[in-house]
Structure 1
Amino acid sequence: MSDMEIRKVQRSGGSSFIVSLPKKWVDATRIEKNDPVGLIIQPDGTLLITPNTSGVQLRKRKEFVVDMATDRTLLLRELIGAYISGYTEIKVKSKVRLPADIIEQVRHFTALSIGQEVVEETDKEILVKDLLNPAEMPLAGTIRRMGVIVTKMNEDAVAALKTSDVDLAHNVIERDGDVDRLQWLIARQANLIYADVNLSRKMDLPVGTASVYVQIAKIIERIADHAAKIAHNAAELSDVPIDDDYLAFIERTGTEALAVFQAALGAFFSSDIERANDTIGKRNALERHCREISKTALSFDAVSAIHFVYISDSLRRVGDYSTDICEHVINHIISTEEPARGKNR
């Protein structure tokens, strides 16, 4: 982190105040005499100066050089990393003809990500561009979509256990990928906002708030993981005879866990600190019911019992992660409240 430069404010004329710009910054941004700069007042009282006055999204390119020895799995992870980091153009190139499996991996990446398309392709190069306008994908809408998918995943995972529906269980597991894609999108959108204050202004989303969306998205993605785990264990128990009362109790506990999750999302979208606090208190009853599921599991054979315990643990984790959402809500509301005004001499 650079050291702070202290500069005195000078008066110019009757009502104007001026301050000189750091030479390093001027050189780095190639500012010339009479060039315009943008001045943006931040909510915390700081003043942000940007050379980008056009409001046009900044373009960044990342290049990956590959060959026959390139680790395909690592390349996919690097492509996803570049996407999340906010690169708007990604080029994969080779000194010789691109291997077929590299081309396949690049296309797999565009299928996994949102807004990424192959726009140019030769024997030696593939260029992927971001065709999504960030302002058209508000972070709040993406979080809502994640919430809808995760809710349905949890409902269907428990339904798969109740009906011994292996196909439904596998379908839940596949939907986990949809949640991953949306979580990556939110991380990418936030990184674009961090790098471009004009985008933050266009989307009317302060950088601090974007950070909260990233945290909430990560938590929802973890809840999706546990829905997939419930579905996996449900598939493993498809041939096991289960008492109707026990199934009904697991179903009620699943509904209870989802109620905590829905309340947490409601507190987040309404910025309701009291609702967030009340929701945290609902976790205790859910934990008791999860312990009862695990206790009853001991009446089954060892292998089956383990699957029931795993299901119980995942239901409990849904409650735990939901209360984490509530804690983020409380922390964010407190941090954005207007501070008491006072003079600092």
Structure 2
Amino acid sequence: MEIRKVQITGGSSYIVSLPKQWIRSANIQKNDPVGLIVQPDGSLLVTPKISGETAQRTRVFEVGAATDRTDLLRLLIGAYIAGFAVIRLESKGRLPPFILQLVREFTQMAIGQEVVGETESSITIKDLLNPAEMPFENTIKRMHLLARGMQQDAMAVVRGRDAALAGDVVGRDTEVDRLHWLVARQDNLIISDATLSRRMGIPVNQAAHYLQVSRIIERIADHATRVAHNALALIDREVEAATLDLMDEASALALQIFSWSMEAFHTGDIRKANETLQGVRDLEEKTREIDTRVLRFEAVAAIPMRQITDSIRRIGEYSGDICESVINYTVGLEG
């Protein structure tokens, strides 16, 4: 940290000199304007970006016939989440067909990504989404509804033995993932661009709070997918009705805890968050009872049933994590 003394000039104007190294790195010339933004904590941000437009950062990847498909997909997702506006793939020769196919899959997975340029040896992907048009609040609500619906349908597979519905649950997990990537991308953009934070009306610490909750919801959706996969293993197995009833009750309680935690999140209600955490302990008792009953079954049925019960418990525990995040964040605001 550099310390500069405040001086008075003209009897009424307060001035502070700016670091020469920063001036040179930002290429600021005499009489150039700079922006001053007051931060929520009372500090002052000085920025050369006064147009309100986010810098168009570009990431280039060299690809070829030897490129690993999975590794490249991870790189594309990483560049997207990091906030690069333009991603370009370049090859020394003609782009292999599998690269073109992978790019098409990526643009379908990542929100706002479109191919804007293509030659025999390169392909350019650009972000066409205005971050301010996708508020964090709306994205989180959509993720909650998707994950909740996935778990409800996954439990319907357990009782109804509907393989097609199980496949649909698994497919919806991709939608939750792409929404989570969007939240992560916007969080990175806000960290790197204070003007975007101002335009969206979201302080940096609040964006981080949204990201944390988004990550938890994404994990809840993963467990709903896990329930669907294990339900398929029970399609040809008879399970006593009493045990199925207990599993349905436990899942309903887990989803109720999930909904309560999201209510606490959207309202910042600490009391609601604390009350919801008690429900997590009640759920743990229910799942222990199911585990005890399942021990009487043959392994081919007992294993997937215990996996389902474990996922139900984890959904409740993750919902409790949301409540703890709400408490920590809200208490910090009150300070």
For residue 87 of structure 1, what is the aligned residue in structure 2?
84
For residue 308 of structure 2, what is the aligned residue in structure 1?
311
For residue 99 of structure 2, what is the aligned residue in structure 1?
102
For residue 295 of structure 2, what is the aligned residue in structure 1?
298
Cα displacement (A) at 1:59: 0.8
| Percent identity of paired positions between Structure 1 and Structure 2 | 52
For residue 154 of structure 1, what is the aligned residue in structure 2?
151
For residue 223 of structure 1, what is the aligned residue in structure 2?
220
1:186 aligns with 2:187: no
Cα displacement (A) at 1:223: 0.3
Cα displacement (A) at 1:107: 1.2
For residue 25 of structure 1, what is the aligned residue in structure 2?
22
Cα displacement (A) at 1:325: 0.4
Q: Structure 1 residue runs of 4+, over 3 Å off?
A: none
1:167 to 160, 164, 167: 164
For residue 39 of structure 1, what is the aligned residue in structure 2?
36
2:116 maps to amino acid: V
1:131 to 123, 128, 131: 128
Q: Distance in 2 between matches of 1:24 and 1:243?
A: 73
Q: How many residues in Structure 1 have an aligned counterpart in Structure 2?
A: 335
Q: Distance in 2 between matches of 1:83 and 1:119?
A: 15
> What does the per-residue CA deviation read over 1:261-320, in whole Å, with 9 as the maximum and x for residues that have no partner?
000000000010110111111111100101111111112101210111111100000111
Q: Which runs of 5+ in 1 are unaligned?
A: 340-345
Q: Distance in 2 between matches of 1:164 and 1:106?
A: 36
For residue 272 of structure 1, what is the aligned residue in structure 2?
269
2:158 maps to amino acid: L
Cα displacement (A) at 1:245: 2.0
1:279 maps to amino acid: T
For residue 285 of structure 2, what is the aligned residue in structure 1?
288
Q: How much is the aligned-residue C-alpha RMSD, in angstroms?
A: 0.8
User: What aligned pairs does 1:67-82 form with structure 2 within 5 A after superposition?
Assistant: 67-82=64-79
1:111 aligns with 2:117: no
TM superposition score normalised by structure 2: 0.99
Deviates more, 1:247-256 or 1:220-229: 247-256
Q: Distance in 2 between matches of 1:16 and 1:322?
A: 53
> What does the per-residue CA deviation read over 1:70-122, in whole Å, with 9 as the maximum and x for residues that have no partner?
11111110000000000000000111111111111111111110000001111
For residue 343 of structure 1, what is the aligned residue in structure 2?
none
Cα displacement (A) at 1:15: 2.1
For residue 231 of structure 2, what is the aligned residue in structure 1?
234
Q: Distance in 1 between matches of 2:75 and 2:142?
A: 26
Cα displacement (A) at 1:56: 1.1
For residue 251 of structure 2, what is the aligned residue in structure 1?
254
Q: Which runs of 5+ in 2 are unaligned?
A: none
Q: Distance in 2 between matches of 1:58 and 1:271?
A: 33
> What does the per-residue CA deviation read over 1:222-253, in whole Å, with 9 as the maximum and x for residues that have no partner?
00000001111111101111222221221111
TM superposition score normalised by structure 1: 0.96
